[in-house]
């Protein structure tokens, strides 16, 4: 046991012993002892961002792509408040993260000291847990607990706040191999009787649907899930957060459900008699109006968080535990019972589902004069052969990415689904690219979102991160404009992006390559060229149709059976739309 290490060195040793590869951060007074300790460390690589929000999103992107907790280091006060958006983003999507924050010296806490903020207080509502370390001998144990809590059970961000004096005091260092907490013992294994009851419902179903969410991705349940879907051969859909767990090409997969999901997915949810929910939390963007949600179904819900079960809708068979463990057990029990499935009725059900599929709800009107954003995403899919890690920001581009990039694997689609944080895409892409330097990482963004964490282009240069930024530039906050068109009589209040920068020059001034694409026939070539530059960040500014809307759509407060389609599919409706 190394004797008498400084608190700061203990922190860095903990990171090393925890196997942390990268730490994303930004220095400042209260964190300087820890930064000094990092100076001597080569096991843990520090990535210097340009804004603490970027650090949190980068760590988050790293965590989403790898499944390992992302680590952040910031100073007290403004360092902490700048990370809040990133912490809340990770919290809403249950992403494992450990955020180490410097704090003013213990003796000054509560005195409104320079750069003091009540970190434990301001982060409390958006963390899984947080700690304030008041004793240098408690650092190692607390760090172990932080990593354990962040990455077990339903994952989430954990903040560890360390006053500056604690990082200069000394103590013996010993990193615990394991930690036991009497107050925290998340349940992993599912109750096998509940699983059997779930199977009873599933094999007896006539109009079944499988609905998977982010929990399936977080628990790496893809193999068990594919096994289940292939055994049952039931229509299957996924939330925005679950995309990729079931490969898009799986014949039983209906695409995404929810506000901008496919018609067949939403109708299957509406008309089903048995629903199996796997790691999905019945979020309002998925369910639409709860009063009209899946009126005739019995629900089997698998989730590691008991509070996610029965929160918004009544559940017939709750199964608490890790999605993967439960699906493995479910598959085992199911093997003997597949014969009980009512194939005749399920086939009839498939016929109905196929008729909904035939509507082709994601189709859009092609153009050879203006660039359709959906077309860009489809070309991007082709050029990257569907193998890219795709991060996104928030808005129309995010929905088009989710609809048109066919994800074959989990952890490839990285977006802020829960909090809906503009500014997430670029820093998240940095985290992913660091984790997978050889892979293709694309950030699909919009002209408004990209400006929210733009400064990270500088970080990308410093660390040679050859992210490809695909800016679907419609000169609008497109999603806001769409709502104003639909629900506010086309009063486009403050959604026009005036005074946009020249993104090409901007990228160049950051030392990257910028490209501007203005005609549909130039898209494919430009993408080929950009992705050919494997070691450069390329910023593709693609000028897209300003009037395009995301379809289909369930307006807020409507039910799954009340989807709205693109104008040409609606009769008697004005098709000419002009922008103010």
Ligand X SMILES: Cc1ncc(C[n+]2csc(CCOP(=O)(O)OP(=O)(O)O)c2C)c(N)n1
Question: Which residues are catalytically annotated?
Answer: 52, 114-115, 164, 479
Using CB atoms within 10 Å of the CB of residue 111, give its burial: 0 to 12 exposed, 13 to 18 middle, 19+ buried: exposed
Helix, strand and coil percent figures for the chain, each rounded to 5: 40, 15, 40
Please state, in angstroms and rounded to a whole number, the distance separating the CA atoms of residues 281 and 242: 11
In the bound state with ligand X, the residue whose beta carbon lies nearer, of 153 and 446, is: 446
Which range of residues in 230-238, 332-340, 420-428, 523-531 is near ligand X by CB under 6 A? 420-428
| CB 508, CB 514: distance < 8 Å | yes
The label of the residue with tokens 């210097």 reads 48
As measured in angstroms, the least distance from the Cβ of 495 to ligand X is 7
Q: What is the DSSP letter of 240?
A: G
d(CA 90, CA 68): 13
Q: Does 394 bind ligand X (CB under 6 A)?
A: yes
- Please say which residue, 183 or 575, places its beta carbon nearer to other proteins: 183
DSSP classification of residue 363: -
Least distance in Å: CB of 142 to ligand X?
32
- For the bound state, the minimum distance from the C-beta of residue 494 to ligand X, rounded and expressed in Å, comes to 9
Q: How far is the CB of 132 from other proteins (least distance, A)?
A: 7
Q: Which residues pair with 302 in a beta bridge?
A: 278, 319
- Taking alpha carbons only, the member of 69, 43, 71, 39 closest to residue 55 is 71
Question: In terms of CB distance, is 73 or 256 closer to ligand X?
Answer: 256
501 binds ligand X (CB under 6 A): no
Q: What is the footprint of other proteins within residues 120-149 (CB under 8 A)?
A: 120-121, 124-125, 128-130, 132, 149
Which of other proteins, ligand X, none does residue 422 bind to, with CB < 5 to 8 Å depending on kind? ligand X
- Decide the pairing of beta strands 5-6 and 170-171: antiparallel
| Per-residue binder mask for other proteins (CB under 8 A), 450-479, x = binder | ------------------------------
In sequence order, the β-bridge partners of residue 317 are 300
Could you tell me the smallest distance in angstroms from the CB atom of residue 486 to other proteins? 30
**Residues 349, 207 contacting (CB under 8 angstroms):** yes
Q: Which of 325, 393, 541, 548 binds ligand X (CB under 6 A)?
A: 393
Residue with tokens 């962040």: 150
Nearest CA to 531 out of 464, 451, 439, 402 is that of 439
Q: Determine the longest span between alpha carbons in the chain, in angstroms.
A: 80
> Among residues 59, 300, 472, 515, which is the contact residue for ligand X, using CB under 6 A?
472
Q: Which residues contact 403 (CB under 8 A, 6 or more apart)?
A: 255, 256, 260, 262, 362, 374, 377, 550
453 binds ligand X (CB under 6 A): no
How many chain residues are in contact with ligand X, going by CB under 6 A?
A: 20
Residue 437's binding partner out of other proteins, ligand X, none, with CB under 5 to 8 Å set by partner kind: none
Q: Is 364 in the site for ligand X (CB under 6 A)?
A: no
479 is an interface residue for ligand X by CB under 6 A: yes
Q: What is the dihedral of CA 55, 59, 62, 67, to 10 degrees?
A: -170
Shortest Å, Cβ 268 to ligand X: 28
Which one of residues 127, 162, 448, 563 is an interface residue with ligand X (CB under 6 A)? 448
Based on the shown chain and the rule CB under 6 A, indicate whether residue 545 belongs to the binding site for ligand X.
no
- The nearer residue to ligand X, 65 or 542, going by C-beta atoms, is 542
88 is a contact residue toward ligand X (CB under 6 A): no
- The interface partner of residue 447, options being ligand X, other proteins, none and the CB cut-off 5 to 8 Å by kind, is ligand X
Quick check: 228 binds ligand X (CB under 6 A)? no
CB of 503 to other proteins, least distance (A): 39
Structure tokens at 418: 């829960």
Between CA 225 and CA 437 the distance in angstroms is: 28
Is 54 a binding residue for ligand X by CB under 6 A? The answer is no
Whose tokens are 């800016």? That residue is 471
**Toward other proteins, which CB reaches closer, 313 or 522?**
313
Q: Does the protein bind other proteins through residue 184 (CB under 8 A)?
A: yes
Cα–Cα distance measured from residue 150 to residue 106, given in angstroms and rounded to the nearest whole number: 25
Binding residue for other proteins, selected from 4, 178, 183, 493, defined by CB under 8 A? 183
Residue 566 DSSP symbol: -
In this structure, the strands spanning 157-163 and 97-103 are: parallel
Question: What residue 394 binds from other proteins, ligand X, none (CB within 5 to 8 A, per partner kind)?
Answer: ligand X
- Residue spans of alpha helices (H) in 292-387: 323-335, 343-357, 373-383
Phi, psi of 526 (to 5 degrees): -65, -40
Nearer residue to other proteins within complex by CB, 50 or 128: 128
**For other proteins, how many residues bind (rule: CB under 8 A)?**
18
240 vs 304, which CB is nearer to ligand X? 240
Partner interacting with residue 420 (select from other proteins, ligand X, none; CB below 5-8 Å by kind): ligand X
Residue keyed to tokens 């922008």: 579
> Interface with ligand X includes 553 (CB under 6 A)?
no
User: In Å, how far from its chain's centre is CA 318?
Assistant: 25
**Contacting positions for ligand X (CB under 6 A):** 393-397, 420-423, 446-449, 472, 474, 476-480
Positions touching other proteins (CB under 8 A) are: 120-121, 124-125, 128-130, 132, 149, 181-184, 305-307, 310-311
């Amino acid at each position: 046991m190394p004797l008498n290490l400084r608190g700061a060195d203990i922190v860095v040793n903990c990171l090393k012993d925890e196997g942390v590869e990268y730490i994303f951060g930004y220095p400042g007074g209260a964190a300087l002892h820890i930064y000094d300790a990092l100076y001597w460390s080569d096991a843990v690589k520090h990535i210097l961002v340009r804004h603490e929000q970027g650090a949190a999103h980068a760590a988050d992107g790293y965590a989403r792509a790898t499944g390992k907790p992302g680590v952040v280091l910031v100073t007290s006060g403004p360092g902490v408040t700048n990370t809040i958006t990133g912490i809340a983003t990770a919290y809403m999507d249950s992403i494992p993260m450990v955020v180490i924050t410097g704090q003013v010296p213990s003796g000054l806490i509560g005195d409104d000291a320079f750069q003091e903020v009540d970190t434990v207080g301001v982060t409390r509502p958006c963390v899984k847990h947080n700690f304030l370390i008041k004793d240098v001998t408690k650092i190692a144990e607390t760090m172990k607990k932080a990593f354990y809590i962040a990455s077990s059970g339903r994952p989430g961000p954990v903040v560890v706040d360390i006053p500056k004096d604690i990082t200069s005091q000394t103590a013996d260092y010993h990193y615990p191999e394991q930690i036991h907490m009497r107050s925290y013992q998340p349940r992993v294994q599912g109750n096998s009787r509940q699983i059997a009851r779930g199977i009873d419902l599933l094999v007896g179903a006539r109009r079944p649907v499988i609905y998977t969410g982010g929990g399936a991705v977080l628990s790496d349940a893809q193999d068990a899930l594919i096994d289940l879907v292939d055994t049952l051969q039931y229509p299957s859909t996924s939330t925005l957060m679950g995309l990729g767990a079931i490969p898009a090409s799986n014949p039983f997969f209906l695409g995404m459900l929810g506000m901008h999901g496919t018609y067949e997915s939403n109708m299957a949810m509406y008309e089903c008699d048995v629903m199996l929910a796997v790691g999905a939390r019945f979020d309002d963007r998925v369910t639409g109006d709860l009063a009209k949600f899946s009126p005739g179904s019995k629900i089997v819900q698998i989730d590691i968080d008991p509070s996610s079960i029965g929160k918004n809708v009544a559940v017939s068979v709750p199964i608490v535990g890790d999605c993967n463990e439960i699906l493995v057990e479910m598959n085992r029990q199911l093997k003997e019972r597949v014969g009980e499935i009512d194939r005749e009725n399920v086939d009839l059900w498939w016929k109905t589902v196929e008729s909904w599929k035939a509507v082709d709800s994601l189709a859009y009107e092609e153009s050879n004069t203006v660039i359709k954003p959906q077309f860009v995403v489809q070309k991007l899919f082709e050029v990257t052969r569907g193998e890219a890690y795709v991060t996104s920001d928030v808005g129309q581009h995010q929905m088009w990415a989710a609809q048109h990039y066919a994800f074959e694997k989990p952890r490839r689609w990285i977006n802020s689904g829960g909090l809906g944080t503009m500014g997430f895409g670029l820093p998240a892409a940095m985290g992913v690219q660091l984790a997978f330097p050889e892979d293709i990482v694309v950030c699909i963004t919009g002209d408004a979102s990209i400006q929210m964490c733009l400064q990270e282009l500088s970080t990308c240069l410093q660390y040679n991160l050859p992210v490809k930024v695909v800016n679907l530039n419609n000169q609008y906050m497109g999603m806001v404009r769409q709502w104003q068109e639909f629900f506010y009589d086309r009063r486009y209040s403050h959604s026009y992006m005036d005074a946009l920068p020249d993104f090409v020059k901007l990228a160049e001034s950051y030392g990257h390559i910028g490209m501007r694409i203005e005609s549909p026939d130039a898209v494919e070539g430009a993408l080929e060229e950009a992705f050919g530059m494997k070691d450069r960040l390329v910023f593709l500014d693609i000028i897209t149709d300003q009037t395009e809307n995301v379809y289909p759509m369930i307006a807020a407060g409507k039910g799954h059976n009340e989807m709205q389609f693109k104008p040409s599919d609606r009769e008697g409706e004005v098709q000419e739309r002009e922008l103010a």
